[in-house]
Chain A
Amino acid sequence: MTFWLRCSLEKGMLPGEYAVEMETSEAGKISLFAPADKVRAADNLMRVEMLQDNNGGGVFVRLPARPFEISSQTVKVPSNAVVRIE
């Protein structure tokens, strides 16, 4: 199973990357540059690593790159922002 985070995507500064914006539970909107192989641009999804699922109380995920706005690649996001794909 893979885990994907709903987000907003645009072309990045360099080929092979996307500018990604997402909503978090505790840090507001954040943004980062994600490698193209970590996104599904047509679906506005970015692949993340699931760290901890609080069963409806939010999900801790590891992002594929460090965001500009906070100092960690690990964030808490709303449970419904994560898509599970078999």
Chain B
Amino acid sequence: MILSNIEIQKAIDEGRLIITPDPQPRDPGEPNCPYDTTAVDLHLGADLSIPQGGAFNYDLRQKGSFAKFLSRNCENVTILETGYPLEPNKFVLGITQERIALPLIPNQTLAARIEGKSSVARCGILVHFTAPTVHAGWDGPLALEMINLGPAGFTLFPGLAIAQLILELVSGDPNENPSQFQGQSKPAGTSNQ
């Protein structure tokens, strides 16, 4: 069940949801209120990571160094006051200003989904794709996988309300019991290959 803005604020007050900095003001009647009826806005941080092309294909089967490979083949940019022009068909990674934490609390655990904002979508901007779920237990800012599918450039700037967070109550408690691994020889799970 999706939480209303009132329930989102209640979850923050009770420590079941942590958003830092705390979204303010809370009253939808006030200017710049980040709350919609069933969501709270998230804002773009100042740092971008721009993946660079090269004479390679990304291959998830390249054992053991894929995170480093991605990091070594990107350009890090801090958005200036004038903004960063996201040109058509350009793909960049961003990060939210807000840190999100969804503590595991019996019968009260929350999960979330990050969605784009319609105002940004109308300009042809995908704010995230493939991985919208913020799993129970997450703690940290959220990465944004942004691409401009529109016909014109789009200016990214820090503080832009670029995404929204939808909160839901998890039915049942997630299994984090270490005993699930006892007696198994391969608790690491199935290889992707």
Give A contacts to B, CB under 8 Å. 8, 10-16, 19-21, 23-24, 26-33, 35, 51-52, 60, 68-72, 74-76
Contacts and interface: CB of A to CB of B under 8 A. Distances in A.
Interface in B26-72: 47, 49, 51, 60, 63-68, 70-72
B189 A13 contact: no
Given A52-B178, A60-B178, A28 B71 contact: no
Contacts of B71: 10-13, 19
A31 B187 CA distance: 17
Contacts of B190: 70-71
B178 A31 contact: no
Nearest to B73: A13
Contacts of B93: 13-14
- Which applies to chain B's interface (DSSP): helix, strand, loop or mixed? mixed
A38 B70 CA distance: 20
Contact of A13 (B65, B74, B140): B74
10 contacts: A11-B71, A12-B71, A19-B71, A24-B188, A26-B186, A29-B63, A31-B67, A60-B181, A71-B189, A74-B187
B68 A10 contact: yes
B192 interface: yes
Nearest to A15: B47
Q: How large is the interface on B (under 10, 10 to 19, 20 to 34, 35 or more residues)?
A: 20 to 34
B41 to A, nearest CB: 20
Given A29-B63, A69-B60, A75-B188, A16 B95 contact: yes
Contacts of A21: 64-65, 67-68
B143 interface: yes
B38 to A, nearest CB: 28
B74 A30 contact: no
